[in-house]
Structure formats: C-alpha cells, structure tokens
Amino acid sequence: MTNKEANQETAKPLNFIREIVEDDLRTSKYGGKVQTRFPPEPNGYLHIGHAKSICLNFGIARDYSGLCNLRFDDTNPTKEEMEYVESIKEDVLWLGFDWQDREYYTSDYFDKLYEYALQLIKQGKAYVCDLTADEMRQYRGTLTEPGKESPYRNRSIEDNIELFEKMRKGEFPDTSRTLRAKIDMASPNVNMRDPVMYRILHAGHHRTGDKWRVYPTYDWAHGQSDSIERITHSICTLEFEDHRPLYDWFIEQLEIHHPQQIEFARLNLSYTVMSKRKLLQLVEERIVNGWDDPRMPTITGLRRRGYTPEAIRYFADRIGVSKRETIIDVSLLEDSLRQDLNKRAPRAMAVLRPVKVVIDNYPNDRVEELEAVNNPEDPGMGTRKIPFSNVLYIEQDDFREVPPPKYFRLSPGKEVRLRYAYIIKCHDVVKDSKTGEIIEIHCTYDPETKSGGSQSQRKVKGTIHWVSAQHAVDAEVRVYDRLFRVEDPNGDEWKSFINPDSLEVLKNCKLERGLVNVTQQERFQFERLGYFCVDPDSRKDRVIFNRTVTLRDTWAKIEKAGA
C-alpha cells in the first residue's frame, strides 16, 4: 500500500451511524459494548439492498469488537417459510459474515413476549378489543383527525387477563379480537393510537407448530426482541422512524434494556427494482427464471451472475450510509466488480460471434503452441500455451468490409495483430452468394512478427483475439443486459419498463482449448469482452458461461457517438 492509499484509508470518514456508535462508546452508554443484529423476515430472498444492511450491521460489530446476531423475524406464520430461512443463511455466509451460534428467531421469544403482554395488561396498559378490522380503522381517525377510544378500552384487568388467555387457547375465531396497547387515540402519530399487539391466527408456525393461536405483531415483537438480545444499536430503515416512539414506549413501560434505534435510507439501484413484492412477481410471472436468475438483484442472482462477495462488500463501503432517499448508479456496482476481477480473474480468449479466418500462407498441417500470459496484472499467475493454426475464428465485430473512421480492427487491405500470435493482413472476403453474409476472411500472415520474437516490434493499430478452429471448445454464452430500460422503473407502470432484450443466448461460441475443463462458478476475463463465469447449468459436454460484466468499452462509446 502506498502512502497515499494509507492516508485515504485513515482519512475515511465515518457514516452518521458509526459516529453515534463511537459517541456511545466514548460516553460508555452501553458499558462499552456494541451489539447489532440483522433481522430479516423469512418471506423472500435477500437482495443487494439487504447486503447493504448486512455489511452495515456485521461491519460495525466487527470494527467495534462487538457481535452481530442473525435473527429471523418470523411473527407472521402465513407468509414465512423455511426455504427462505435456508437461503438467507446461505447468502449471509457467502457474503463473508458469520453469526456463529447466534441464530435467533423472534418465535424463540413468544413465551417471553406473552409474559410482557400480561405485564402490560396488569399495569392497565393493554386491553382486549372486540372491534372488527373495519371498525378499528374507523375508530383510528385519520392523519389529520384524532381517533375515538374503543368501547372495550376500559375493561377490567381481570377480564383482560381472562380474555387474553382464551385468545391464546384458541377459543375465539380468527380476527374476532385483538390485544391492544392503551396509549393515546388522539396522538398525532397514528402508530400510538392503541396499536395491535396480538392477533388471533389459527395457523401453524414453521417453528412453534400448533403451540400458539395468537401471534405478536411486528410492532410489538421487534423492539422487545432487540431488548432481549441486549442489542445496543437497532439499525433499521427509514419507514420505521415513526414507530420509534412506540417501541420506546413499550420498553419504558416494561422497564427493560433500551436499545437505540437508528434509521437509514434503504438502497435503490438504477435500472432495477428492489421491493420483495416486485421481485416475487418477476419470479412468479416467469419474467425471469427464478430467484437466482443472473439478472435479478438478489444475492443468489448476483452470485450466479458471477459477482464476488468482495465486490459487493466494497460496493457497500463505497455507497455510504445516510438518511437521504437516493438511487445509486449501477455503474458503481459494476466498477466495484471490475476492480476486484481485474486483479484476480485469469484471462482467456473466447469468440462469441465467430467468423472464420483462413491464413492462406500458413501451412495447413502446422500447429504452433504460443505462449500467453494468464493475467498481466499479476505475473504470479503464470503463462499458458495456446494452439495456433491456419483456420481461426475471430469476432464478427472485429471485421468490417467498410471500416468506419477510427476503426482499428481488420478490414480489406488492413493489418491487425492477433494477440500472442502474428500480424495478419486481409486480402479477400468470401460471401454467401444468396445472403451476402461473410463466410470466410482470407488473410496472409507475416512470419517475422510472431509475439515475443526478435522481429515482433512492428506496431499496428489494433490487436484482436482469436481461437484456433480445430482446437476450439464449443460453448453457450448467456449475455445479460439490464432488466429495465429506464433508470427508475418504479410506479404502477413498472412492468412496462422491462427490457425485452435483457437476455441473449449465444449458442455457437468458440473458446480457447484450455477451457474444456472448467468448474462451476469459475471466473475468467475473456480478453477484450468482459468477465464471465461458469453457470451451474454447465456440463462437461456442454459448457455454459454467463457474462458477468463487460470490460470498459471505449470503442462502443466512439461508435455510439458517431451514430
């Protein structure tokens, strides 16, 4: 690390949450302890937005010698499933974080929560209410008008205890009664107008089975769960800001450990959607091929796409944390990935849209083994041999019969360097007589220009990649583009912004010989094209790659500007 980098490292500013944590450490607010938690609801797959929260919570715990728990917020048995619990654990681990033995569930606290509820009833701070959902809404008032008190609000403590007990035993039908906190129906904060703490639900729970017929609401369960786990800093998203007074109220009535809730803005990324509801819809309506579709912003999708945990963590670091609602440009995510992969991914040559090149003056029975560097960024990664012969494939894009201005690649009468091989010159083109499609490009090579040879110094403008036809490995490559055509595809019309060309399957790709034996998830840089990784669908006899991200492409910009 250079001095400059070291300085940047130490000068790295704290986000506002870390400032609060450091203040609390200085004043010993929590006895010098830091305890955070990541509390997902197991009703969907984790996405890049959750990654931000995971990095925040686990990162703070790590940096201030604290601990971070994983807690599943499983208070709604009608929506939650074990499938999601498993996927969430896998994703957190993959991101590089470890909750060790602290895998908790809100349902672990159902007994305790029930006791707390009884305590509030006995304090005259909670009551059983017989209002229907409709009636309750009417009694709640509006944003500008106060609510009315429920007629059941002043039941005796004894009646409340008895009724609540019967609710628990399942003696009443679903939704017939609720347990409510007795706070203030005229509060300007609607959350304080006697919120529901328990609802009757005759539903089995994925962990507690048939034990309960009443289930705590999130508002009642969350703060107390944090308290039970001795959380010091309860970091959550902005929409819970209005709920904080309620959580504080519960904690104060109960006189139990009081965590500090801190809210931050959730992540939005351009050209994608992030809400669980929308992601679920994309999956269920088969707009994408499952939660792990490489176009999805889910962790599992990004993983399949070829993203690395390092890149995602670096990205989370770079976006910062604040209370402003913003949309982060995907290019920052892509840049984070390229920075990581550039250093680590071995290079290979691959032709995605092949066109045949015949070197007329190269003996057709000859094969040379040429030396290629595995990663110019890291000499330690060594070199490999690649075969060269008289029939090659090059990229269709790398030949133009009529070259536009500033085109450095192959065209009639022009020369290019074949990477790690020779300089060739094009002198003829064979076309299909019917379609006009170019079938073969005829070239001659200059034997004096072999890479690394004594006469190899001659300069040509362009260098292109190639694959020897007789040695090529056939492959399928899935090329992805952004899922949506607009930066902010939200609102009611969101589905109309879906990019119909977000997936292109190329079935006739030619890879260099060395890629016959690849393993799942293995990543490469295909020179001049981008980073690619082996898809789980890949088989020994049918190699399949995903394009993770393209390289920066200056030519594409020039061409676009010209057009």
Residues with catalytic roles: 41, 266, 276
Q: Rule CB under 7 A: choose which of 79, 112, 211, 427 binds RNA.
A: 79
CB atoms within 10 A of CB 25: 18
* Among the listed residues 37, 295, 409, 510, the single contact to RNA using CB under 7 A: 409
d(CA 263, CA 339): 31
Residues numbered 101-130 forming contacts with RNA, rule: CB under 7 A: none
In contact, 333 and 269? CB cutoff 8 Å = yes
Tell me the C-alpha distance between 33 and 55, whole Å: 19
Nearest Cα residue to 67 out of 57, 53, 79: 57
Choose between 270 and 521: whose C-beta lies nearer to RNA: 270
- Residue 553 binds RNA, judged by CB under 7 A: yes
Nearest Cα residue to 354 out of 230, 512, 241, 149: 512
Residues 276-315 that bind RNA (CB under 7 A): none
Site string for RNA, 463-492 (x = CB under 7 A): xxx---------------------------
Kindly tell me which of 12 and 286 has the beta carbon lying closer to RNA.
Answer: 12
Best CA proximity match to 106, nearest among 274, 219, 254, 261: 219
Measured in whole angstroms, the distance separating CA 280 from the mean position of its chain's CA atoms is 15
Output the smallest distance, CB 160 to RNA, in A: 16
The whole-angstrom separation of Cα 24 and Cα 44 is 34
Contact characters 232-271, RNA, x per CB under 7 A: ------xxxxxx---------------------x------
Interface with RNA (CB under 7 A), residue from 29, 32, 33, 41: 41
What is the secondary structure of 416-466 as a DSSP string? Answer: EEETTS-EEEEEEEEE-TTT--EEEEEEEEEGGG-TTSTTTT---S-EE--
Which of 14, 439 has the CB closer to RNA? Answer: 14
Candidates 131, 235, 475, 483; binder of RNA (CB under 7 A) is 131
Report the first-to-last Cα separation within the chain, whole angstroms.
43
Residues 172-191: x where in contact with RNA by CB under 7 A, - otherwise, as a string = --xxxxx---------xxxx
Interactions with RNA, residue window 312-351 (CB under 7 A): 318-329, 331-332, 334-335, 338-339, 342, 347
- In angstroms, the CA 352 to CA 536 distance is 19
Which residues, 525 to 544, sit near RNA by CB under 7 A?
525, 527-528
Binding of RNA at residue 376 (CB under 7 A)? Answer: yes
* 421-460 residues near RNA, rule: CB under 7 A: 421, 450-453, 456, 459
Shortest reach from residue 403's CB to RNA, in Å = 8
Q: How many CA atoms lie within 13 A of 81 on its CB side?
A: 7
Residues 155-174 that bind RNA (CB under 7 A): 174
Structure tokens at 124: 């005259």
Q: How far is the CB of 536 from RNA (least distance, A)?
A: 26
Which two structure tokens, joined as six digits, stand for 239? 């929409």
Q: How far is the CB of 170 from RNA (least distance, A)?
A: 14
